[in-house]
Amino acid sequence: MTVLLLAEVHDTLAGRATRAAVAAAQALGPVDLLVCGPAETAATAAGWPGLAAVLHCADPACAQGLAEPLAALLAALALGYTHLAAPATAQGASVMPRLAALLDLQPIPNVVGILDAETFIRPTYAGNALVTVRSAQARQVLTINPLTFEPVAAEGGAAALRLVTAPPLAGGSTWLGFTPPPASARPDLGTARVVIAGGRGLGGAEAVAALEALADRLGGAVGASLAAVESGYLPSEAQVGQSGRAVAPELYIAAGISGAIQHLAGMQGAKVVVAINLDPDAPIHAAADYSLLGDLNELLPALTAALG
C-alpha cells in the first residue's frame, strides 16, 4: 500500500494540517507528499520524517491552489497509489471530491481514525456520532482531519525530491488573488493552545474587551460563536463551529456561549473545556470539564486579575 498526500501550502507548510495528515497516512504505508509551489517549500517538506518522497510541481495554477488543476494532477499520478489523501481543510474539501469524480470513486471525508487500509472512522451528525466506514474500492480517496492526529516533526527526515508536471487543462477557475487575514499579535485560532471564545451572552463591547484581556493574559486566541458574530461582537474570522473554524486547543473557555450543536462541532477537539454561563441548563455545561455559573462581566475580569 502506498499513499499520495496533497500538501496544504498556503502557509508554506508551517502549520500543522499537512504534518498531521502525514502522521495519519503513515498507518497506511509509505507516504509520498505532493507539494505544489516554490522549490524551497518542497525542500522544506523533504526534511519531515516519515516521507518516502516529495513530488514537486511548479505549475502556477496548481501552486495557487485551484481545485481543477490539482484534481487533474492527482488523477494523473493516481495509478501508482492505493490511497489518495489531503488534509480536511477548505482546499482538501474542494479538491478531493473532484478527484473522486474523475476516478469514479466514493470519497471518504474528514477521517479521524484509521483501522486498516479499507476501514476508517469519521464523524457524522455535526460530530455527535462516529461512523465506521469500510470501502473495498480499488483506491481510497480521503480527507484527514488534522485536529485528531499529532503532527510529525518539522525536521529529521531526508525524503527524495522528484519533479512532476501538471497535465494540460482548459477552462476552470481563475486565480484572482489572496487577501491574508488581518495581522494580529495573538496566535492563529486554528493552532492556538488556548482559545477564549465568546457568545451572545457577551452583550457588548465591555465584555468583549474583558474576553480579549483574558486571552492576551493566557497567550491565547479569541474565538466566537455564530451568534456573537451575527450580533457584531466579534469578527467572522473568529467563528468556531460547523460553519466556522475547527479548533483543538489544550484549553477552551466558552464565555456566554449556550452550546448549540453547530458550535460544539467546532470545539470538540479541545482537551479541557471551561464554561462560563449564567444559565445552569445551558447545553455547554454538558460538554464542559469545569463550569462557572455566574456573570461573565464579573468572572472574566476576576480570572484575569487572579492570573496576575
Residue after which a domain boundary falls, among 163, 185, 220: 163
Q: Same structural domain for residues 129 and 246?
A: no
Residue after which a domain boundary falls, among 163, 178, 202: 163
pLDDT recorded at residue 14: 52
In a domain, 134, yes or no: yes
Q: Same structural domain for residues 111 and 29?
A: yes
The domain spanning residue 206 has which CATH number?
Answer: 3.40.50.1220
| pLDDT, tens only, 109-125 | 999 999 999 999 999 88
CB 233 within 8 A of CB 198: yes
Splitting the chain (308 residues) into consecutive groups of 10 residues, what average pLDDT does each group show? 89 72 96 94 92 94 90 95 94 95 96 96 87 94 92 91 90 80 82 94 92 96 96 94 90 96 91 96 96 96 93
Q: Same structural domain for residues 103 and 17?
A: yes
pLDDT recorded at residue 9: 79
In a domain, 180, yes or no: no
For the chain, how many residues are written? 308
Residue after which a domain boundary falls, among 112, 145, 163: 163
Q: Same structural domain for residues 159 and 202?
A: no
Q: Same structural domain for residues 90 and 202?
A: no
Q: Same structural domain for residues 122 and 264?
A: no
The domain spanning residue 106 has which CATH number?
Answer: 3.40.50.620
How far, in Å, are 143, 148, 239 from residue 242 at the CA level? 16, 16, 9
pLDDT recorded at residue 15: 67
pLDDT recorded at residue 207: 93
Structurally, the chain folds into a number of domains equal to: 2
pLDDT recorded at residue 101: 97
Q: Same structural domain for residues 137 and 199?
A: no
In a domain, 115, yes or no: yes
In a domain, 172, yes or no: no
Closest-CA residue to 188 (of 226, 132, 146): 146
pLDDT recorded at residue 173: 82
pLDDT recorded at residue 11: 57
| pLDDT, tens only, 6-32 | 998 775 455 688 999 999 999 999 999
- How far, in Å, CA of 203 to CA of 256, rounded? 9
In a domain, 183, yes or no: no
Which residue range is the domain that position 247 belongs to? 194-306
Q: Same structural domain for residues 159 and 205?
A: no
